[in-house]
Amino acid sequence: MALSDTAIKNAKPAEKPRKLFDGGGLYLLVVPSRAKYWRLKYRFGGKEKTLSFGVYPEVTLAAARNLRDEAHALLAAGVDPSEVRKEERAAQRDEAVRLEAAMRFSVDSDGALSIRLGVRRMNLSPSETAQLRAFLDATRTVLPKE
């Protein structure tokens, strides 16, 4: 029998974790600490696997069902959903590292320059910013163009 929002809200924790099944391998794991976790139980390559979708109520019943359907579509295409998730997380980490390594500049309304590289930050006063601009303008006329 499929789950309903009312059944989920009324699900009380027991001494041991328990599973409330919705269908298609989707279930809600209710743990003694009162947390409720969405999980998908599936088989890939002859092995049983579990995929986590998040915590109820942040992930609603409808959202969990959509995630289940997306995972089933990947399985039908011969792709392991957990591997797709690992690749997505690796791409997010790479993007975070790239953004962390990027140098960022900002100029305040009073003319102060702030340069950030990762967690390091250098702040220049308005007079120091003016000196830096003058230096860069001077080197622009001296250095050969490539």
pLDDT in tens, 61-72: 999 999 999 999
- pLDDT bin (cut points 50, 70, 90) of residue 107 is confident
Shared-domain flag, residues 91 and 110:
no
- pLDDT tens for residues 20-39? 999 999 999 999 988 999 99
Query: Where is pLDDT greater, at 13 or 60?
Result: 60
Q: What is the mean pLDDT of residues 32-50?
A: 94
Shared-domain flag, residues 91 and 109:
no
Number of domains in the chain: 2
146: pLDDT strictly greater than 80: no
Shared-domain flag, residues 12 and 82:
yes
State residue 63's pLDDT score. Answer: 96
Shared-domain flag, residues 17 and 82:
yes
CA dihedral of 83, 89, 94, 98, whole degrees rounded to 10: 160
- pLDDT bin (cut points 50, 70, 90) of residue 99 is confident
Shared-domain flag, residues 10 and 73:
yes
101: pLDDT strictly greater than 80: no
Shared-domain flag, residues 17 and 85:
yes
Shared-domain flag, residues 72 and 128:
no
Shared-domain flag, residues 28 and 51:
yes
Shared-domain flag, residues 65 and 134:
no
* Cα–Cα nearest to 25, from 58, 54, 77, 64: 64
Identify the domain containing residue 123 by its residue range: 105-142
Share of the chain above pLDDT 90, in %: 51
State residue 137's pLDDT score. Answer: 83
Shared-domain flag, residues 83 and 120:
no
Kindly give the pairing relationship between strand 120-124 and strand 113-117. antiparallel
Shared-domain flag, residues 131 and 65:
no
41 near 52, Cβ under 8 Å? no
89: pLDDT strictly greater than 70: yes
Instruction: Name the average pLDDT for the chain.
Output: 89
94: pLDDT strictly greater than 80: yes
145: pLDDT strictly greater than 80: no
Shared-domain flag, residues 33 and 15:
yes
Q: For residue 37, give the CATH number of its domain.
A: 3.30.160.390
